[in-house]
Amino acid sequence: MIERYLSGFFLLLSGLYFYFANDISFGELAKPKAGFLPNIIGFLALVLSGVNFFISMGKKIDSDNEGTIDVFAAKNIALLSVGTIAYIVLLSFAGYLIATVLYLFYLIKVTRTKGTIKPALLSLSVVFAFYFCFVILLDVALP
Amino acid sequence: MLFQGFAASLELQNLFAAFVGVTLGTIAGVLPGIGISGTIALLLPISFGMDTLTALIMFSGIYYGAMYGGSTTSILVNVPGEGASVVTCLEGHQMAKKGRAGAALAVAAIGSFVAGTLGVVGITFFAPPLANAALAFGPPEYFSISLLGLVVLTNLSGKSPLRAFIMMLVGLMIGTVGIDPMTAINRFTFGSTQLAKGLDFIIIVMGLFGMGEVIATICERQTDIKVEKVKFRDLYPTITEIKRSIMPIFRGGFIGFFMGLIPGPSATISTFVSYALEKKISKHPEEWGHGAIEGVAGPESANNAASSSQMIPLLSLGIPFTSSAALLLSGFMIHGIQPGPMLVSSQPVLFWGLIASMYVGNVMCLILNLPLVGVFASLLRVPLNLLMPVVAVITFTGAYVLNYSLFDLGVLFVFGLLGYLFQKSGFEPAPLAIGAFLGPQLEQGLMQAMIICEGSLWNMMTRPLAGAMLWLTTLLVVGVLVKTLIKYMNSRRGLS
């Protein structure tokens, strides 16, 4: 099923890309402009993804071999997405150390790791180690 | 003069500088997002105040250490630290999943050392004539080699050429996002200043390969995750694996050395060319995609050899063809060395000392990292429910450090999700990565070539270098189409 959705996604993406590429000037062969390669790529992608889409729709669904996402995986993806968005937002407000310790602890709990003390200690030690490597050792600025 | 250079390089303070350079270079190379250029830029100030030859030896240690460090994360956790490490993810990480991480790391180290040494030997004897050959490359040649590279590498994903081409085209599409370098027009930015900067290739591959793997592991039920128990004897390659790696190392070294003379991202291209060649001639085709040792030995050797031969135009002509070479040039100039045609005659001890320092840096990298293979491989004994979150955090940190942009973190995660979906379906991410990487160079070369050739493709195809590569590309494409057609007709005959 994922295969079909991805085939459809690529068809849609190619169509949109080709549509927007048409707004950019193509130029001539001897004087190509910014839209030269995008139009060529967009057209080729649209044709090939169209062919692929029809081939994948024509195939019989083989539930044993086709990739699917079950409820467990979907739930984890949702948790991961929410956590990541929160982490990116928190980075600008709370800084690297606090945001990353919380995010790492969150990820460890998403993987169903039992306990609180050990994950918390691991989060603190790992993040401080990264902070030392990047900021102190390599003099790289973090939020 | 070379022996004098060696004599100077082997003094105690110089050996210590090599050790420090390799250590720091490896640490920085292991951290994703830093890359070779970033590593050299960050560690350059350490050399201020040092003796010139000592500083040069440290630079070469940093250079080789950073290259090896990039392959370590590719093998262990599927996070490529730079473009040239992407291919190592394909087979190296599969070997790690089978408990052969140590073997992959060891072969990468040995292959890098052998090919790097061959590269330095090449520099020693062939620098001036090869440098002049490199100058023969113009825009039509850049375009044709990029196109050839794309077509060759798209054949890497063997299952479906159609899907591989689609992924490659998607990669090219991604490469066009941002301000067009030729006309300064915003393309596909939709008014966003973040998109106007374009999508960074390193972020894309870190997402597709690294974050994709993290998401895949986190989404699996813990009972489904098998942790390979690594015994001590599994930490290093077997005799069979070493035998199988010998010829790929030499072939990769040869490919990398000559491709490294080409301006631009030739080290990365050479890794893919080596991979494609080894896959084509392999006696164990069933292993490819599941941990073929040749897929680590060849590309890693090509990468190191290319990185050595990139020094040829730098030393002989004073022209850096890559960003890391440009940084090395700035390091040389800080210490009063002006690379170029006069360097050999005006400062022979320094020149040969520099050549000798590359040998020393290469050896030091091997001496330092080979014993550490066991330590690195042991990281995989950490339970995945703890290791993967740490990998996620280090990937995000490395992604931020690249451009200091929170937007990049969002891009990383989106490509991570895509990488996970690609893993679950029949779409390979490698062609997308190579399309995104080669796209900008391909486009710039094409635009300039069309202007030079006055819009005539035939003019381009009659140039000696560009024409040869374009004709080869045409034959490859026709070959793929014919094979696909024959396969389709056979399947129809089979049905009827």
Mean pLDDT of B442-463: 87
- CB of B422 within 8 Å of a chain A CB? The answer is yes
**Given pLDDT bands bounded at 50, 70 and 90, which one contains residue B224?**
very low
**Residue, of A106 and B483, whose pLDDT is higher:** A106
Its pTM stands at 0.80
* CB contact (8 A) between residue A55 and residue B162: yes
CA distances, B82 to each of A115, B31, B67, B168 (Å): 36, 10, 9, 19
Domain ranges of chain A: 2-58, 71-137
Mean pLDDT of B174-194: 88
Q: Nearest Cβ partner of A67 from B182, B218, B425?
A: B425
Mean pLDDT of B172-201: 88
CA distances, B495 to each of A52, A63, B17, B362, B488 (Å): 20, 22, 68, 58, 11
* CB contact (8 A) between residue A138 and residue B28: yes
Mean pLDDT of B279-286: 86
* CB contact (8 A) between residue B422 and residue A6: yes
Mean pLDDT of B313-335: 72
Q: What phi and psi values does residue B469 have, to the nearest 5 degrees?
A: -70, -35
Residue A72, classified by CB atoms within 10 Å of its CB into exposed (0-12), middle (13-18) or buried (19+), is exposed
Q: First-to-last CA distance in chain B? A: 75
Tokens 């020693």 belong to which residue? B124
- CB of A17 within 8 Å of a chain B CB? The answer is yes
Strands B178-179 and B186-187, bridge-based pairing? antiparallel
What is the CB neighbour count within 10 angstroms for residue B231? 9
**Residue, of B40 and B169, whose pLDDT is higher:** B169
B25 touches B294 (CB < 8 A): no
B68 touches B26 (CB < 8 A): yes
Nearest to B292 by CA among B300, B284, B301: B284
The pLDDT of residue B341: 66
- CB of A51 within 8 Å of a chain B CB? The answer is yes
DSSP secondary structure of B422-448: HHHTT--HHHHHHHHHHHHHHHHHHHH
pLDDT for A62 beyond 60: no
Percent of chain A with pLDDT over 70: 94
CB proximity under 8 Å: B 39-68 to A: 42
Any residues with CB less than 8 A from the CB of B458 and at least 6 apart, and which? none
Max avg pLDDT among B27-41, B407-421, B474-488: B407-421
> Is residue B178 within a helix (H) or strand (E), and if so which, with residue range?
strand B178-179
Under 8 Å CB pairs connecting chains A and B tally to 166
* CB contact (8 A) between residue A29 and residue B169: no
Q: Nearest Cβ partner of A130 from B394, B420, B423?
A: B394
Question: In angstroms, rounded to a whole number, what is the distance separating the alpha carbons of residues A29 and B295?
Answer: 40
Max avg pLDDT among A1-5, A80-84, B126-130, B310-314: A80-84
Question: In angstroms, rounded to a whole number, what is the distance separating the alpha carbons of residues B314 and B309?
Answer: 9
**Given pLDDT bands bounded at 50, 70 and 90, which one contains residue B172?**
very high
- CB of A68 within 8 Å of a chain B CB? The answer is yes
Question: In angstroms, rounded to a whole number, what is the distance separating the alpha carbons of residues A5 and B93?
Answer: 27
The pLDDT of residue A98: 92
Question: In angstroms, rounded to a whole number, what is the distance separating the alpha carbons of residues B303 and A18?
Answer: 36
pLDDT tens per residue across span B145-170: 888 878 877 765 556 788 888 999 99
The pLDDT of residue B234: 62
Max avg pLDDT among B265-269, B410-414, B443-447, B477-481: B410-414
pLDDT for B90 beyond 80: yes
- CB of B126 within 8 Å of a chain A CB? The answer is no
pLDDT for B241 beyond 70: yes
B413 contacts on A by Cβ (under 8 Å): 81, 84
B73 touches B85 (CB < 8 A): yes
Cβ density class A106-134: b for 16+ within 10 Å, e for less: bbbbbbebeeeeebeebbeebbeebbebb
- CB of B480 within 8 Å of a chain A CB? The answer is no
Chain-wide mean pLDDT for chain B?
Answer: 80
Nearest to B476 by CA among B270, B248, B273: B273
The pLDDT of residue B1: 60
- CB of B31 within 8 Å of a chain A CB? The answer is yes
Question: In angstroms, rounded to a whole number, what is the distance separating the alpha carbons of residues B496 and B491?
Answer: 9
DSSP-derived 3-state class of residue B179: strand
**Residue, of B2 and B64, whose pLDDT is higher:** B64
Tokens 């034959």 belong to which residue? B475
Mean pLDDT of B395-420: 89
CB proximity under 8 Å: A 119-138 to B: 122, 126-127, 130, 133-134, 137-138
**Given pLDDT bands bounded at 50, 70 and 90, which one contains residue B132?**
low
Q: Nearest Cβ partner of A48 from B166, B215, B404?
A: B166
